[in-house]
A and B are shown apart, each in its own frame.
Chain A
Amino acid sequence: MARNIGPTVDTLLARVRQSGGIALDTDFATQLLTISQQIANAKLRSVVASGPFVTTASQLVYTYAELTAGSIPAIDILNATTADKKLYNFKRFEDLSAYDPDWFRAIGSGFYAWCQIARDFFVLYPAKTGASSVNLWFTKLTTVYTDYSDAYDTALELPDEDVEVALKIAEVLALLRSRKPEKIKRAVADVMKRFGA
């Protein structure tokens, strides 16, 4: 069963409570937790979704803003498929340029590959002469809330087993207000340990 935001914020507040310290505002704690959920999901890729993305004739490069406007709220793309195949993923933009130095305006009969540039651009190679579509699998940009009362009964999007990562990141950020550097470093180490880093 998914964990709700309100009780998880309460847990965060209990963890960082400091006698004689300055209390953390519940709305700010809600914002910290839900931003931390986005950050955790960027690493864990736990919350994924898929959907069709309509492409434009002769266009290879799309912005993430265009993806979001096309109902693809993505932190990053995981896979791209057409009706008959899974497209190849060039992990690095330079690899696409090495494969085809003229890729920038390449036009073909079907999509062959895709790659990302930073977190702002998505490239489909080659372009097609007419409008078309691909199906994208993506790491979802989870929702951020800033109002504790409104979000109280809303479920976190991360699966239960990953909520602790988001909670720990939120804890690290909240601990900055405690001005206890050693505690902060300890909390950072706890998160890194989760990833074996």
Chain B
Amino acid sequence: MAFTKAQILTFAGTLGLGLSNSTQLGTYFDDVVEEVGLLHAEPYFTAAAFVTVVSGTATYSLPSGALRLLYTFMSDRLLSEESDATLEAYDGTWRATAGSEIYAFTQDYLENQFTLYPEPNFSSTVGGDNLDGSYDSGWIWTIYTEDRSSSIPDYDAPRLACRTLAKEFERSANQQDHAFADACKEVVALLDYMLRKPDES
């Protein structure tokens, strides 16, 4: 089986003896998934998608549900992620530069967008968005951290539930319990340690 957001909230509610506010718990779950996707060194959930390139357009929305691009490929290459400042230092008019070889991209976390450098002067070929032999190199392929609310692996359920409970019991409310919230954080640290891939430090 795999968990949905609703099932994790039920799971968390059971661990928290039902003392939590279920509406608030749902909001905190969303915050936790976003926090883990944007900030965690070893993201819990990743997904991949193609993005269509349109000639003369440099800026694209992140794929639906994406929080942060981890890797972006185009024309058989891994693109380099750079800051605006780096691109400005490299090419003072980078926003207006067009070309057929794309080298780099920048991410805008506030707008959930990314910008290619240089701006593509070509468009994706229809039907080329495949990972097998029919892939067309004019497509962007991205791997990103994902805002997931279903198909959550069983082993991730307890740590998501405990992260959510920690936020809920830190909140200024009748059920506020800092000691319990701290204990939840300790459990999260344990579960993160257990689930860290053994080859990673």
- A residues within 8 Å of B by Cβ? 22, 25, 28, 32, 35-36, 38-40, 42-43, 45, 56-61, 63, 75-76, 91-93, 97, 101-106, 116-121, 129, 141, 144, 146, 169, 172-173, 176-177, 179, 181, 184-185, 188, 191-192, 195, 197
Contact = CB atoms under 8 A, between A and B. Distances in A.
B132 A181 contact: no
A179 to B, nearest CB: 6
B175 to A, nearest CB: 11
A92 B107 CA distance: 23
B69 interface: no
A116 B200 CA distance: 11
Interface residues of B, number: 49
Interface in B48-102: 48, 70-71, 73, 76-78
Contact of B187 (A57, A60, A176): A176
Contacts of A38: 154-155
A58 B16 contact: no
A172 B187 contact: yes
A133 to B, nearest CB: 15
B14 A120 contact: no
Given A121-B48, A188-B186, A191-B190, A144 B77 contact: no
A117 B46 contact: yes
Contacts of A184: 183, 186-187
Interface string B4-37: 0000000000111100000000000000000000
A24 B180 CA distance: 18
Contact of A181 (B43, B46, B135, B182): B182
Given A101-B78, A176-B187, A179-B180, A118 B46 contact: yes
B77 A185 contact: no
A101 to B, nearest CB: 6
B132 A117 contact: no
Interface string B92-136: 000000000000000000000000000000000000000111010
A-B pairs, top 5 by smallest CB distance, nearest first, are: A58-B133, A181-B183, A105-B76, A118-B46, A184-B183
Q: Is chain A's binding surface mostly helix, strand, loop or mixed?
A: mixed
Given A181-B179, A188-B186, A58 B194 contact: no
A173 B77 CA distance: 44
A43 B187 contact: no
Contact of B194 (A40, A101, A106, A117): A40
Contacts of B1: 144, 146
Contacts of A57: 132-133
A56 B195 CA distance: 30
A120 B47 contact: yes
Contacts of B158: 32, 35-36, 39, 173
A13 to B, nearest CB: 15
A121 B142 CA distance: 12
A64 B157 CA distance: 18
Given A146-B1, A184-B187, 11 more contacts: A32-B158, A39-B155, A105-B137, A121-B143, A172-B190, A173-B187, A176-B15, A179-B17, A184-B183, A188-B187, A188-B189
Contact of B131 (A59, A169, A179): A59
A106 to B, nearest CB: 8
A130 B155 CA distance: 36
A41 B171 CA distance: 34
Contacts of A76: 197-198
A94 to B, nearest CB: 9
Nearest to A76: B197
Nearest to B141: A104
B130 to A, nearest CB: 9
A81 B8 CA distance: 38
